[in-house]
Structure 1
Amino acid sequence: MAVWGDQFHPRSGATVSRGPDPNCIYIFGGLGNESGMQERGWRNFTGFWKFNRQTLELKKLHTFETLDSYQTISLGYADRINRFLLAISNKPNNNIPISVLSVHPETYEIENESTIPNSDHLEIGSLTKPFIGKKTGKLTVVTRKGDDASSGTLIQIHTINYPPMDPPPVKFTKLWGRYGFGFAALMVSLGIIGFRWKRNGEATEKQLGYVIAIDEDREDNPYLSHNFAIQCFGHFRLYKFGKELSPDDWVSKKARLLFIFIVLEGDGGVAPQRIRTEFWPDSPQKSAGNSRYVAMSQIRRMLNPFEGIILTQEHNIFLDYNEDHFSDFHYFMSVVRANSHGDISQMERALQLYDNGSLCDDINENWMDDIREDIRSKAKRLADNLSQSYQASDQWGKLGKLGQQVLRWDNLDDDGFHWAMIGLLNSHREAKAKSIYDTYTHYYSEVLDHPFEYSFIEIQAKYGKKV
């Protein structure tokens, strides 16, 4: 085949994708050198190429000079947004998480960039390219960890709200066919059609979603048994002397948000400049400082007589907890810091508080997204530690429940599915295992557009051998 065009040096590990022109394939990167002789060493190429399958022309379109430190790469193309999607995992010693870029197909400008939290130890998976889910509208990236045949390879599927996409609209006829008749029957039986007005800054329990179920017994309820308590998992709630304070008790919504921001920043505290960036980005420094002072004064009045919990050190603002205080987020983070050396019961308690994975779910600020992703990854590490303990001690019932909890965080979590199957099958709960299997494989085929590779009988043979 006689290929013509720009000079293309020999390489390995390049990533190839289709693109906006159906007659062309697009190529990025690869490992090699200009001479093609391995003994002269190699480097990462950063050129972006187009090969026309009809004219056999190979043309260099662009060079991404800043993307030269990658370990593995994967190039995809999303028709729906007409953008190339480039996933990059950096070299392990760089301690840099996986990056996901969207590239304009005409200007080759990198328009958006995001990272997958705590992915610096992962590589881009080769099973599928990054793509936008048809039904979820989310960017989906497959990663892998480990390549030793004796230890196996962990495949993980990450779905993130990037690039910004709205879920595909549901046709009214389809929506009515699914829910309409049941809804109509409900309205007839009630005989009521109500109109509900939402007050500014106020949300109902139903609108806010899941609420952590806590024991009503004051002695066993950490939020009620402490003089001052902060609940972050589920809705954000504040308690003084066992009584929950209403969001309406706050003088301003921004003061409440700022307090939540300080709580979630943890023991390290938050610098004034960071507060200005998140809360008053368009205000001059002096004006932003005055606004912060007013908001902090409102927070202290709200916390009275526990305003002493707020301290400042080297200009950083943080919370100093003592035995009269309780914060589920602070407790969770203290268990995370103990890592695998933590007490099993403490790790179980931390995940009990975290439950279905919601964190301040009544807060919709942009800065919450990264915090939620980070806490999710920390919860996953706790779950991994617990799973090892459960398997070592043959606690199959607990392992099955743990797997189901992790699947509530992410319907396609590979570990959650693995733990649920082992735990349930070795607890002789085949019917429950089959139900979990059906749900998991349904989501799997929807998101990845191809069926799950194992039948339930094969799963039984694979995971049901522990006892």
Structure 2
Amino acid sequence: MRLINCLILLLFFVPDLMADHGIYFKSNEVTKENRTGIDITHNGNISYITDFTIHFKLSFRESETHYGEILSLKENQSKNLIQVTYRKPDIFVIHNKRTTKFHLNLEDEKIKNNRWIDFEIHIDAVNDKINLLFEDKKLESDISFPQNSDFALSLGVVNKYGFFIDEVPSISVKDISVRIDGAPRHLWPLKKTNNSLVKDVLSSKSAKVFNPDWVVDYHNEWVKIKSLNFPTLPSLLYDKEKELINFIFMDGSIQSFNPLNKTLSKLKEEVKGFPCFEKAQQIIYDKNGNISTYSFNKNLISTLDTNTNTWSRNVESSVHDAPRFWHHNKLLHPETGKITTIGGYGYYSYFNDILSFDTEQNSWNKIEFSGDTIQPRYLASLGKSEKNPNTVFLFGGLGNSMGKQILGKEFYYDLYKIDFEKKKIKHLWDYECDEQFQFLPINSMKLNASDSSFYTLMFPSTKQNTYLRAIKGFVHEPRIVFIGDSIPYNFLDIESFADLYYWNSENKLIAITSHQTEDETHEVNIYTISYEPGNKDDFNINGVGLPMPVKIFYTILAVVLVLFVALIVRKIRKEKEKKNKSEYKVYTSPDIFEAPISDYEIPKNNAIIMFGGFQVFDEKAKDITYRFSPTLKELFLLILLNTINEGKGISSKRIQEYLWPDKSESKAKNNRGVNIKKLRGILEDLPGTEIIFDNNYWKITLPENIFCDLDYVQKGIKSIREQGKIENLAEIIIILQRGAMLRDIFPEWLDSFKDFNTGMIVGTLEEIIKDSKTDKVIALAISNVIFEFDQMNETALKTKCCLLATQGKHSLAIETFEHYRKLYLKFYNEEYQYSFKDIVSKEIS
């Protein structure tokens, strides 16, 4: 019954807490009568007995407002008055018109604009205490508050409860909640509505809003902040540190646009010398932070010395010098710091070369990568991983497999992972879509570490007067979602350019478009949107909804269907397990095993399971995996895998790099301490398992009574490779039959562990099935295991097809071969060179 209640609550309330929402408070940019306020208790005060808590998400923005009231609370019985007041850059808590020790400086707390932070006030009337939570900071003080009373509550400009308020700071607020006597009683997500009332999703109590601006609109609507016109083609370069958009021209001059105050300025000093580039946006900040321009045709780099305002080249580039690589992607090589480019189009050809410029030899050198091959293309989108500085992702583009324009165009909707440290390219996925879906991405993308997603802009390329729309893609699955409204875009192929920048201080995206006009001048348009962009269709749920009886009916129906499907799936799994168990009993090998393979059962008490998916069982065989949040799971695996693989564990610095790269050292330390404490609490259910800090490294000790399948497999394979002992081969096969290692977890740092263990497992099993003395039933089981880890393994294909054929199971053998052949064609874009007859007639080697 508890499960059904939770499902009902989720079905009702999750939509209210999805996506971005909240109210953007109008401040002194408007007249006093048009400023924003929220009257929480417009239809009656809120009663409490012993204590209450008020919590909401708060966001500040840049403005000229230096003063205003955030929150006002008036208790009824003893006439207590609490006000939270902003006076730039400080926040004060006022009690009965006297200041308290609750004083916070936003600059000292390093609170950035346009980020949601937690704000909470807790009044304990029993112990006469007031507690304040502001982001990570907690404060406590004494206060005299009566029990068994009630209070009125408002935010912003509300003149109703005996105090006059007409100033509100430039803030946004969402998810206002009230807990009464320890229990959640009210929650106002502040979803957009067409009237003045907003819903309380936990009760029937509504709040009244005055003059609201809705946060959702700022996440769905691009705002054009400037249109500029230049007589000659500008090359665009975004300065992340100063947050300026620089325009560099062939004559060496530079102009800078400030998106905050929307002003365009020129360098006051005269610039000497010239940049060197063609007309293909060949400009970048070098490893020393200097503006560098590069030429493919001249094999040159010209860098600006900001101390003397002098370019390092004395000869001006020619506007008639045609680029070799239009719409290529560029970056600094993560390890060498050299200017590096990917792909591009020129001279009727598409390219997939990754080139790096050698300043000593003045030459472009091709970097060779192992792994998958990127098809020749241009107009692709490139983004740098937020978790691994050596990794970039390349999405989409236009080209063809032969690289020749005369052979036609192919639209690519694929994602590649390029690892510069390992010099390896990995094809992650293809997005399947209709042939009429002819969209192309812009030059850059923004990676989002929190949910392994990315943002870029795409446009339909079939016409000149087109538009750009933001998309959200996902690193680990082939899914693309269009979000927000559109931006006008004049696409003239090589004469147009668009890019995307992240404006860190304002937490916004900047989109910029550039194209040549009919009078041969160049128009540049600049747009912004709040980060992260949201889907307009997901919002506005405060409008007319279904009647409550209908909601209840559909909710119960949905719950029944969920439970019904769960029962069917459970029954199917049991039948399958029963069938598999009966089949495995036949697969015996008296030369190696005294009992059937299926006699071994993977331990389910005091066990840590990694193959086939992450699971943890306590000493009573209870599955406690649910207790590991995503962060706890990742932290646990980081320490455990580094303990198992290298023995010494992992340092605090490396943990911060992987889990909290955007946090300061102090905040990362605090996060680590909190999560280590939680992990230790969970591991108490695995007797003897401890997290220790030894010689500056975090380790996990696993006593003999704790079973870890990865540790068991690694030791078993080591014994096979070094001593030829295969006594535990049956157990290893049964463990590996569950599937690939941690296939339900995808952080980038985990790839190296997966690759190492996959290579070790597949290499060892290949050697075993190549041995003619290996039992044929065991060999067949091993071939199936290899396919779990490497679906394109040719040794496993030969083994399985030959064994099935010799057993008279020709249809299964052919089915196995055909499945392999189709995968081969999909992955390599060419037919598999051998026929089924070739495979079964070849001697297994």
Q: Structure 2 length as normaliser, TM-score?
A: 0.33
The alignment status of 1:380 with 2:780, answered yes or no, reads: no
5+ unaligned residues in a row in structure 2: which ranges?
Answer: 1-295, 300-323, 327-340, 359-363, 383-390, 399-414, 434-472, 481-554, 561-565, 582-598
One-letter amino acid matched to 2:815? S
Q: 1:195 maps to what in 2?
A: 558
Deviation larger for 256-265 or 337-346:
337-346
Q: 2:673 maps to what in 1?
A: 293
One-letter amino acid matched to 1:452? Y
Q: 1:327 maps to what in 2?
A: 708
The alignment status of 1:235 with 2:235, answered yes or no, reads: no
Q: 1:21 maps to what in 2?
A: none
Q: 2:736 maps to what in 1?
A: 354
* 1:351-372 deviation per Cα after TM superposition (whole angstroms, max 9, x unaligned): 4212253333443444334433
- Trace 1:258-277 onto structure 2 (pairs within 5 A): 258-265=635-642, 266=644, 267-277=647-657
Task: Label 1:248 to 1:279 Cα distance change in 2 as closer, same or farther (>3 A).
Answer: same
CA distance in 1, matches of 2:696, 2:793: 41
CA distance in 1, matches of 2:612, 2:365: 39
Q: Say which SS state the counterpart of residue 349 (structure 1) adopts.
A: helix
CA distance in 2, matches of 1:233, 1:73: 24
Aligned match of 1:280 in 656, 660, 675? Answer: 660
Q: 1:153 maps to what in 2?
A: none
Aligned match of 1:77 in 345, 370, 375? Answer: 375
Partners of 1:404 and 1:417 within 8 A in 2: no
Task: Label 1:307 to 1:103 Cα distance change in 2 as closer, same or farther (>3 A).
Answer: same
What is the RMSD of the two structures over their aligned residues, measured on CA atoms? 5.4
* CA drift at 1:304: 1.6
Partners of 2:613 and 2:742 within 8 A in 1: yes
Q: Structure 1 length as normaliser, TM-score?
A: 0.56
5+ unaligned residues in a row in structure 1: which ranges?
Answer: 9-23, 27-45, 55-59, 85-98, 125-129, 138-161, 170-191, 198-202
One-letter amino acid matched to 2:558? F
Q: 1:414 maps to what in 2?
A: 794
Q: 2:840 maps to what in 1?
A: 460
Instruction: Report percent identity of matched pairs.
Output: 15
One-letter amino acid matched to 1:114? I
The alignment status of 1:318 with 2:699, answered yes or no, reads: yes
The alignment status of 1:64 with 2:442, answered yes or no, reads: no
The structure number with the bigger radius of gyration is 2
Partners of 1:444 and 1:451 within 8 A in 2: yes
One-letter amino acid matched to 2:818? D
One-letter amino acid matched to 1:274? R
Q: Say which SS state the counterpart of residue 781 (structure 2) adopts.
A: helix
* CA drift at 1:328: 0.5
CA distance in 1, matches of 2:343, 2:825: 32
CA distance in 1, matches of 2:627, 2:762: 35
Q: 2:690 maps to what in 1?
A: 309
* CA drift at 1:166: 5.9
CA distance in 2, matches of 1:61, 1:332: 39
One-letter amino acid matched to 1:270? I
* CA drift at 1:386: 1.9
CA distance in 2, matches of 1:371, 1:451: 32
Q: Say which SS state the counterpart of residue 639 (structure 2) adopts.
A: helix
CA distance in 2, matches of 1:117, 1:417: 32
Q: 1:340 maps to what in 2?
A: 721
* 1:62-82 deviation per Cα after TM superposition (whole angstroms, max 9, x unaligned): 753396785999975344964
* CA drift at 1:381: 1.6
Q: Say which SS state the counterpart of residue 661 (structure 2) adopts.
A: coil
Aligned match of 2:418 in 114, 123, 130? Answer: 114
CA distance in 1, matches of 2:665, 2:783: 48
Partners of 2:616 and 2:623 within 8 A in 1: yes
CA distance in 2, matches of 1:352, 1:117: 35
* CA drift at 1:300: 1.5
CA distance in 1, matches of 2:617, 2:727: 25
CA distance in 2, matches of 1:354, 1:433: 22
* CA drift at 1:237: 2.0
Q: Say which SS state the counterpart of residue 167 (structure 1) adopts.
A: strand
CA distance in 2, matches of 1:447, 1:49: 23
* 1:105-153 deviation per Cα after TM superposition (whole angstroms, max 9, x unaligned): 99xxxx9863499999xxx9xxxxx98976779xxxxxxxxxxxxxxxx
Q: Say which SS state the counterpart of residue 345 (structure 1) adopts.
A: coil
Partners of 2:356 and 2:367 within 8 A in 1: no
Q: Say which SS state the counterpart of residue 243 (structure 1) adopts.
A: coil
* CA drift at 1:347: 4.1
CA distance in 2, matches of 1:48, 1:422: 43
Partners of 2:632 and 2:675 within 8 A in 1: yes
Q: 2:60 maps to what in 1?
A: none
Q: 2:264 maps to what in 1?
A: none
* CA drift at 1:424: 2.8
CA distance in 2, matches of 1:47, 1:134: 19
- Trace 1:97-108 onto structure 2 (pairs within 5 A): none
Q: Say which SS state the counterpart of residue 64 (structure 1) adopts.
A: strand
One-letter amino acid matched to 1:279? L
Partners of 1:232 and 1:359 within 8 A in 2: yes
Partners of 2:741 and 2:754 within 8 A in 1: yes
One-letter amino acid matched to 1:434? I
* CA drift at 1:297: 1.7
Deviation larger for 356-365 or 290-299:
356-365
One-letter amino acid matched to 1:437? F
CA distance in 1, matches of 2:769, 2:421: 22
CA distance in 1, matches of 2:817, 2:743: 28
One-letter amino acid matched to 1:431? S
Structure showing the higher helix proportion among its residues? 1
Q: 1:254 maps to what in 2?
A: 631
CA distance in 2, matches of 1:311, 1:459: 53
